[in-house]
Amino acid sequence: MRWREQAQRWAPAIFAIALGVLLSIDVPATAADPATERTRLAGVLRQLDTIDRLIDESAEAAAVRGTRYHFDYPRLHADVDRMRAGIEQYLNPVRAQPRDDEALNGLYTAEGETP
């Protein structure tokens, strides 16, 4: 049981690291042809799906604990959904439209009861 408790405690940090790695993928603009770019972005969508599942699992495990500070899983979930929507919009454009320049929230620590 000790291992499970440690895994639950480190889950938010693991998610933040995974998200950072995902966002740090650097593709040189001159070397990326459209087919390769679409393939890589489809891979990013699959990784976002995996992150979504991990967020849900960790949120369920964290709901059991009654700590004062907790990781704000709904906010992280919303940011992942926002990234997914942006990539899907790029891959399947309806027509050229101005970009929505709303920034990701990025603040995932909340005080009080678990939502």
pLDDT in tens, the chain (115 residues): 565 666 666 677 777 777 676 666 665 554 558 889 999 999 999 999 999 999 898 888 877 766 677 888 899 999 999 999 999 988 888 776 667 777 777 777 877 665 5
Q: Could you tell me which residues come within 8 angstroms of residue 75 by beta carbon, excluding any fewer than 6 positions away?
A: 105, 107, 108, 110
pTM tops 0.85: no
